[in-house]
Amino acid sequence: MRIALDIHGGDHAPHAVLEGVALAAKEWTDTTWVLLTQDEALIPKDLPNVEVRQVTETITAEDEPVKAVRRKKDSSMVVGAGLVKKGEVDAFISAGNTGALMAAGLFYTGRMKGVDRPALAAFFPSLDGKGTLILDVGANPEAKAEHLRQYAVMGSFYAQKVLGRTNARVGLLNIGTEDSKGTNLTKEAFDLLSVEQSIHFVGNVEARDILYGVCDVLVTDGFTGNVLLKNTEGVAKALFDRLKQEFTKSWITKISAAILAPGLRSFKQEMDYKHHGGAPLLGLAGPIFKAHGSSDATAFFHAIRQARQFVELQVLDSIASELGN
């Protein structure tokens, strides 16, 4: 297998990316790591099975996505998407500018037939330990009802194929569970999902219920999904920061913390995005993954794990078949 990585994408690049590759290289010796970089000297000499691809440009978080992709054709994102299109790599991973990665995928890899807009599909932890796949979480800030229907079909099949969820339950993010709730978009999407034969639609889902595992797949527009994702990450971080303050106030609370430590560590890991891999851009004609912008080495390792699984299970071919391609 050949996996390409954007060395310059993300808040902690390039070191976090390279450390993640080093961890993955120990786990999977059958993989060639195609590293896209402006500076070959950054690549450690002891990394095995490495192929360096020199690029001359970088797309930053401040760049306007479409303009950057059109102008910076020798950037790591554009080159990576092109490698996927040409079949020179099996998957491409970047933690860089989400909009630019989406644009690069659309312009240089292309869409699957039957898909109007690819969606960024992120795995969301839940208290039952199973988690929920949410899409879109940022690829398309605005969407139409038909786009949400397509997200539901792709997400449902991904949940079944990769997550092992037989008859995956699909929910629609809304402000209430009643059929008539929501905006024109959610009402139209509700009607489409209700008659979609290829999914198991369970109706509207409120944000407060997501962590309780009420559905396997949750669909929404990219703006709302991104707000949901970042708010939940913020609440989780604030909760653990507050617990740390409380448990260090006195010798009694420190003893209590020592007793509770194993359970708290397990819960924190379940809620930590770093252990859930990257987010595939479902609907693109090739496997392209968006790692979290603040990914560390552990997060990149799990993004690689997810990309490998995606390729090994031939998820794209299966989704294309489900869409009638």
Q: Residue 34: which of 73, 89, 76 has the closest Cα? A: 89
pLDDT of residue 274: 57
**Taking residues 193-216, what's their average pLDDT?**
93
Would you tell me how many other CB atoms lie within 10 Å of the CB of residue 92? Answer: 32
- pTM for this one? 0.85
What mean pLDDT do residues 122-144 have?
A: 87
- Neighbour-count burial of 114, counting CB atoms closer than 10 A to its CB (0-12 exposed, 13-18 middle, 19+ buried): middle
More confident residue, 243 or 287: 287
Mean pLDDT of the chain, nearest integer = 89
Contact 300, 21 (CB under 8 A): yes
Average pLDDT over residues 240-250: 81
Longest dimension (CA), the chain: 64
Name the DSSP letter for residue 158: H
Q: Identify the pLDDT of residue 15.
A: 93
Is the pLDDT confidence value at 7 over 70? Answer: yes
Residue 325 has pLDDT above 60, yes or no: no
User: What are the strands of the beta sheet with 288-290, ordered from one edge?
Assistant: 50-54, 32-37, 2-6, 91-94, 288-290, 279-282, 119-120
Burial class (CB in 10 A: 0-12, 13-18, 19+), 208: exposed
Residue 324 CB coordination number (10 Å): 8
User: Which position has the higher pLDDT, 64 or 323?
Assistant: 64
Q: Residue 9 — pLDDT band, cuts 50, 70, 90? A: confident
Helix (H) or strand (E) holding 289: strand 288-290
pLDDT at residue 267, rounded to an integer: 63
pLDDT reported for residue 237: 79
Q: Write down the pLDDT at residue 277.
A: 65
Reference 80, options 287, 313, 293; nearest CA is 287
Query: What does residue 123 show for φ and ψ, rounded to 5 degrees?
Result: -85, 130
Per residue in 28-77, pLDDT tens?
Answer: 999 999 999 998 889 988 899 999 999 999 898 889 999 999 999 999 99
User: Whole-angstrom Cα distance, residue 21 to residue 224?
Assistant: 32
- For 170, the token pair is 């699909």
Confidence category of residue 268, pLDDT binned at 50, 70, 90: low
In angstroms, rounded to a whole number, what is the distance separating the alpha carbons of residues 59 and 261? 42
Q: Please state, for a pLDDT cut of 90, what percent of the chain lies above it.
A: 56
Tens digit of each residue's pLDDT (9 = 90 or more) over 216-225: 999 999 999 9
All structural domains of the chain, each given as residue ranges with its CATH number in brackets, are 1-112+283-314 (3.40.718.10), 116-274 (3.40.718.10)
Query: pLDDT band at 275, cuts 50/70/90?
Result: low
Q: How confident is the model at residue 11 (pLDDT cuts 50, 70, 90)?
A: confident
pLDDT score of 98 more than 60: yes
Lowest-pLDDT choice from 75-79, 93-97, 127-131: 127-131
Which is more confidently placed, 251 or 282? 282
